[in-house]
Amino acid sequence: MLCRRTLSMQTYTLIAQSEVTCTMDISDLLSHPVAHHAFHYTLVGKALVRLGGEVEMVNRSLCNMLGYTEQELLRMRIHDIIYTEDVPLYNGSINDLLGGNSDYVEMENRYICLDGRHKWGTTTLSIIEVEGHPERVFLIQIQEITYRKKLVELNEEYADKFRMLADNHSDLVYDVMLDGSISYVNRACTKLLGYDLYELERTLGDIIRKSLEHVTETYTNAPFEMETSIEAKDGQILKFSVLHIPNFIQNELVGLHCIARDITLQSSMEKALKHSEKKYRLLADHTGEMIATLNINGIIYYISPACKPFLGYDATELIGRPVWELFYPPDIEKLDNSQEWMNEDGHVNILRLRRRDGSFVWVEVVSNTLRYDSGNVREIVKVFRDITSRKTLEDVLATQERVMSGIVEMMDVGVVICDEHGILTSMNRAARQLHEFVQIPLSSEHWSSTYGLYESDGKTPLSKERVPLYRAYRGESFRDLEMVVKKSNGEHRLVLCHGKPIIVHNKIVSGICVMHDITDFDAAKQSAHQADKLSIAGQMAAGIAHEIRNPLTALKGFLQLLSAGNENGSKYYDIMKEELTRIELILNELLALAKPQEMNMTRHDLSELIQDIVVLLQAQATLHNVEIHFHPTKESVQIRCDGNKIKQLFINLIKNAIEAMPEGGTVWIEQMRCDEWVKVSIRDNGVGIPQELLQKIGQPFFTQKETGTGLGLSICYQIAEYHDANIEVASEVGEGTTFTVSFPVAL
């Protein structure tokens, strides 16, 4: 604070320092060289102003600051260049000086420039008393601070933005002063830790002290990180990585900006990872597979102890060596790009490794590449599995497959094969000769039209579902299916087909069909069959003559008696009716035997068919004092058959068994599965059949029953033949008879 005094020789110096009042004429005020230089030759803008605001004198610095000339400013009042909103501040400062409250006054206000802009200045006002003049003069000194004010505004703006960012940051952000106090904390601090500012200073006290000691002892101005644990208010221990940024103002350390990142989860994961790596090494050391860890150049820096039984080397002998040295030389050439092989994640390679003794071992290699967050390769893990035994077996199987393919190729019967998708994939030599050309692969939709496949009538084209190979592909096993192949020259070839699906692990993986060209054989068979029919016709004619002659003779005799007027006429009529009925029965069964059979072939559960027959014949068995016992298979067995014809077959056999026991007895029906066949045996404990008569079973008109026609069993044999079934007979006199019927199973 300065004191008011009268003007002396020291006044000029004091005016230059803006700290005195004087009492002399204004025109003479700056006549002294020192005062003149102090007023005019300074970077601080200066002006002498009367109480009314008239400008009496200005220096060049003020002119440069505001853009006016000296003459322009001298014609103005000071109020004209003070920013309108700051005029009250100026007037108040003048009043303070006039009231004697202060010898000088400082203020920050704005000034209007010639171009209309305004500039900030730090203004110092003091009073100069001029001797002989009652009016007072004011010395105004203006230090421009526009740039500093803008910096302050920018700093405040940046500070606001920083606070906004910090307050919304998920990490803990806080400022620490050198005395250890916290000047700022963001919301995350209180949200994550649960403390208020006072509690936070106590909680972070030790951490802050260590941080300040570090920065003061090392004299560092570079940011540094420290890891620490903090107990939250709820008792939870959290781990943080704290970034400390030294805060300097005018090259003086005033505190630290701190950003604490919660690494609790990361730390736990790192511990779990280390534990996992430890278990991985333990597993790798004790597994039967050889595990190697390589760097990006293929150098081994870890290999499991399994390398000893694998290759004959100790692990220490292989660490530091390139993995390529273990490869069997010919296999290295097969790798198109060794670097790609290094980085093939999940890809399986099969190659050979060279053992210490020079032999080799076949291995299956699986790769896994571990990378940094940047994507760069950290390490490569290779797992080697010994497949030498498997490879040897595969070679044996491949050899066997070539042998089997050769055998199939040389077979005289045609063989065609499709894959699991119903695509024709293979035809042997005989099949190619039958069809005259090969189109492979070929989908099932085009088999019939491409190869000219027809029903056995040679006229109806086979639908896709009726093609034998397609039926095998769909899971059906069959024998003796007939179809016609129409060749390019129009010739028809009759083909007999056997087929079945190839099933692996309960899944159809292929279908196969074997084709026999039976065109020539069928012609010979027809001729033989015609001869058989002529022979049988002769036998049947003799049988018919014998069977029908007896009732006709009886009828003739009764007619003669009736014509003689015999009194027992009504009795003779009944006998004649019975004989005529017998003739009718013989003729009906004869017609059934001779008539061509039309079959409706579908899948049936054999047990259900037999059970229906047992129920049907139960009443007849009871009348004859016979019990029927049926023992079906545990699981369902299906056959392809005409259900009504099969029922007719078993009705005849079971009725014969019942009638073979006039005194009563038991019929045992047993069903059993034998590979691709199902057998049904019908056993009675009747009178039995002599051995010399067994060979006549099934011949027309052979019977042991008094009222039998001898045609029932012939019909049974005929039905069995149509179903590719067999009938076998075993009998002992006095013990009983067993008929066994065998059917192919429908798969």
CATH superfamily, domain 602-744, is Histidine kinase-like ATPase, C-terminal domain (3.30.565.10)
Using DSSP bridges, classify how beta strands 665-674 and 677-684 pair: parallel, antiparallel or unpaired: antiparallel
Q: Where in the chain is the domain with CATH 1.10.287.130?
A: 523-594
Q: What is the pLDDT of residue 237?
A: 86
Compute the CA torsion angle 383, 389, 393, 395 (nearest 10 deg).
70
Instruction: Please tell me whether residue 76 adopts helix, strand or coil conformation.
Output: coil
Helices 519-563 & 569-594, crossing angle to 10 degrees? 170
Q: What is the pLDDT of residue 586?
A: 60
* Average pLDDT estimate for 227-234: 86
Rg (CA), the chain: 60
Question: Is the pLDDT higher at 468 or at 18?
Answer: 468
Tell me the sheet residues that pair with 220.
none
Name every residue whose Cβ is closer than 8 Å to that of residue 441 and which is 6 or more positions away in sequence: 423, 424, 425
* Of the listed ranges 20-34, 165-179, 267-281, the one predicted with least confidence: 20-34
Q: What is the pLDDT of residue 164?
A: 75
Contacts 24+ apart (CB under 8 A), 83-92: 83/109, 83/110, 83/111, 83/112, 83/118, 85/110, 86/110, 90/123
Q: What is the pLDDT of residue 580?
A: 66
Task: Kindly report, residue by residue over 428-446, the tens digit of the pLDDT.
Answer: 998 898 888 888 889 999 8
Q: Does domain 411-517 have CATH number 3.30.450.20?
A: yes
* Average pLDDT estimate for 99-115: 89
Identity of the highest mean pLDDT range in 223-227, 333-337, 576-580: 223-227
Report the alpha-carbon angle 641-643-648, nearest 5: 110
Nearest to 263 by CA among 244, 243, 241: 241
Question: Is the pLDDT higher at 717 or at 525?
Answer: 717
And the tokens for 622?
A: 């009871």
Spatial separation of the C-alpha atoms in residues 44 and 48, rounded to whole Å: 13
Give Cα separations from 643 to 461, 609, 613, 719 (angstroms): 27, 7, 11, 11
And the tokens for 324?
A: 């390529």
Q: Where in the chain is the domain with CATH 3.30.450.20?
A: 11-144, 151-262, 267-391, 411-517
Q: What is the pLDDT of residue 15?
A: 40
Spatial separation of the C-alpha atoms in residues 304 and 283, rounded to whole Å: 9
Is the pLDDT score of 122 beyond 90?
yes
Q: What is the pLDDT of residue 131?
A: 61
User: Of all helices (H) and strands (E), which one includes residue 361?
Assistant: strand 360-371
Domain 523-594 sits in CATH at 1.10.287.130
Q: Which fold would CATH assign to domain 151-262?
A: Beta-Lactamase (3.30.450)
Q: Where in the chain is the domain with CATH 3.30.565.10?
A: 602-744
Domain 11-144 sits in CATH at 3.30.450.20
Q: What is the pLDDT of residue 12?
A: 35
Cis peptide, bond prior to residue 134, ω within 30 of zero? no
And the tokens for 18?
A: 């803006």
Is the pLDDT score of 34 beyond 60?
yes
Spatial separation of the C-alpha atoms in residues 572 and 555, rounded to whole Å: 9
**DSSP, res 445:** G
Q: pTM for this one?
A: 0.35
Domain 267-391 sits in CATH at 3.30.450.20
* Of the listed ranges 105-109, 293-297, 336-340, 714-718, the one predicted with least confidence: 336-340
And the tokens for 689?
A: 């059949």
Give Cα separations from 304 to 274, 313, 491, 668 (angstroms): 18, 11, 71, 69
Spatial separation of the C-alpha atoms in residues 701 and 714, rounded to whole Å: 9
Count other Cβ atoms within 10 Å, centred on residue 197. Answer: 14
Question: Is the pLDDT higher at 368 or at 131?
Answer: 368
Task: Kindly report, residue by residue over 519-563, the tens digit of the pLDDT.
Answer: 877 666 565 555 455 445 445 554 555 556 566 666 666 666 665
Could you write out the three-class secondary structure of 397-461?
Answer: HHHHHHHHHHHHHHCCCEEEEEECCCEEEEECHHHHHHHCCCCCCEEHHHHHHHHCEECCCCCCE
Q: What is the pLDDT of residue 10?
A: 38
Instruction: Please tell me whether residue 64 adopts helix, strand or coil conformation.
Output: helix
Q: Which amino acid is at 389?
A: S
Identity of the highest mean pLDDT range in 189-203, 361-375, 489-503: 489-503
**DSSP, res 322:** B
Question: Is the pLDDT higher at 514 or at 211?
Answer: 514
Average of per-residue pLDDT values in the chain: 80
Backbone angles phi, psi at 669, to 5 degrees: -115, 120
Report the alpha-carbon angle 713-718-719, nearest 5: 95
Q: What is the pLDDT of residue 551?
A: 65
DSSP string, 176-196: EETTS-EEEE-HHHHHHH---
Question: Is the pLDDT higher at 654 or at 348?
Answer: 654
Compute the CA torsion angle 48, 50, 53, 54 (nearest 10 deg).
-80
Percent with pLDDT over 90 in the chain: 23
